[in-house]
Amino acid sequence: MKALVFEDRLFMEDNMPKPVPVQREALVKVKMAGICKTDLEIEKGYMGFKGIPGHEFVGVVEESKDGDQSLLGKRVVGEINCGCKVCNYCLQGLETHCPERTTLGIDGRDGCFAEYLTLPVANLIEVPEGITNEEAVFTEPLAAAFEIMNQVHIKPSDQVCVLGDGKLGLLIALALNLSQSELLLVGKYPVKLNIAEKQHIKTALLEDLSSKRQFDLVVEATGSVDGFELARKVVRPRGKVVLKSTIAGNKELNLTSLVLDEITMIGSRCGAFNPALKALERKMLNVKPLISGIYSLDKIIEAYEASKRKDALKVLIDFTL
């Protein structure tokens, strides 16, 4: 099969062996995939990953090595963390924190930038009919946005600030806006902010953000090591800062100021897919304006480059092209 491979550099490989599902796994034929910032970080060495990258996909189940065959032939998305199923984390439903986990296209498991992938059947969820492939491929990052609402109680009366108008920042703003809180999305690009504006989200350019410490909750999704400092400046005493950016590199922080103002910082990563699929099915938010371009698998290296442009948002790979 055709696949994109990362080993020191990215390259296309036309004759990769088709993966073989083991017990309780399914073989999925990939239909559409999305390029994520994590994929670009992997290219720089993040997680020391080698193999087929990619973790945002929609596909069709072609084979199931599981007693339950109900997903065979169905269009599915898949949760990307595969736990050991026996440790305390897995037993508590926290498979995303299993110390033995593999993660699709990120850690110890080949990803979705290939014609076929394998995942445990239990990780797959059927995509409802009303959701197109272009929308379904946003399920994984949108689930990461909804994860915030699993971790933090957001009240409609809360003043919430999302920092960052990249792909993740926009998806977070779209998801959190469902809380009907006083939400402000802050970014650098009017054209990106405009996508949120059109969906009833108040926005501001970074240069216009007042440094008044007014927000009950600040979500740091800038993808920059300086995002935390900014979050710290606008969060109120006793407020919360959710950290979403995963960036190589450390940052000097003044921990005493966190103590004095009793700030809570919450690291937030992957989330469950169901809330994201529900919101997409019910058309509660529109992810399509985030699509910057659609490429064939043969042109995926070109797609990577397109994805790195400052004005780019989500770049998709259509496997039917």
- Interaction site with a copy of itself (CB under 8 A): 89, 94, 96-97, 99, 151, 225, 228, 237-238, 243-256, 258-269
Determine contact, residues 307/315, Cβ cutoff 8 Å.
Answer: yes
Our CA angle for 55, 184, 218, nearest 5°, is 65
- Could you tell me the smallest distance in angstroms from the CB atom of residue 220 to a copy of itself? 8
Determine contact, residues 277/139, Cβ cutoff 8 Å.
Answer: yes
In one-letter notation, the amino acid at residue 33 is A
- Could you tell me the smallest distance in angstroms from the CB atom of residue 13 to a copy of itself? 29
Q: Is the Cβ of residue 14 or residue 262 nearer to a copy of itself in the bound state?
A: 262
CA distance 118 to 134: 21
Q: Is the Cβ of residue 207 or residue 252 nearer to a copy of itself in the bound state?
A: 252
Q: Is the Cβ of residue 228 or residue 319 nearer to a copy of itself in the bound state?
A: 228
Helix (H, G, I), strand (E, B) or coil at 174: helix
Q: Is the Cβ of residue 99 or residue 128 nearer to a copy of itself in the bound state?
A: 99
Q: Is the Cβ of residue 59 or residue 105 nearer to a copy of itself in the bound state?
A: 105
CA distance 80 to 63: 18
CA distance 189 to 161: 16
Torsion of CA 22, 48, 168, 302, to 10 degrees: -90
- Of 86, 113, 120, the residue nearest 100 (C-alpha): 86
Q: Is the Cβ of residue 199 or residue 214 nearer to a copy of itself in the bound state?
A: 214
CA distance 59 to 70: 15
Q: Is the Cβ of residue 96 or residue 203 nearer to a copy of itself in the bound state?
A: 96
DSSP summary character for residue 43: H
- Could you tell me the smallest distance in angstroms from the CB atom of residue 93 to a copy of itself? 11
Helix (H, G, I), strand (E, B) or coil at 304: helix
In one-letter notation, the amino acid at residue 134 is E
- Could you tell me the smallest distance in angstroms from the CB atom of residue 307 to a copy of itself? 20
* Measured CA distances, 161 to 61, 76, 120, 198 (Å): 40, 33, 37, 17
- Could you tell me the smallest distance in angstroms from the CB atom of residue 1 to a copy of itself? 31
CA distance 247 to 290: 22
- Could you tell me the smallest distance in angstroms from the CB atom of residue 147 to a copy of itself? 8
- Could you tell me the smallest distance in angstroms from the CB atom of residue 207 to a copy of itself? 24
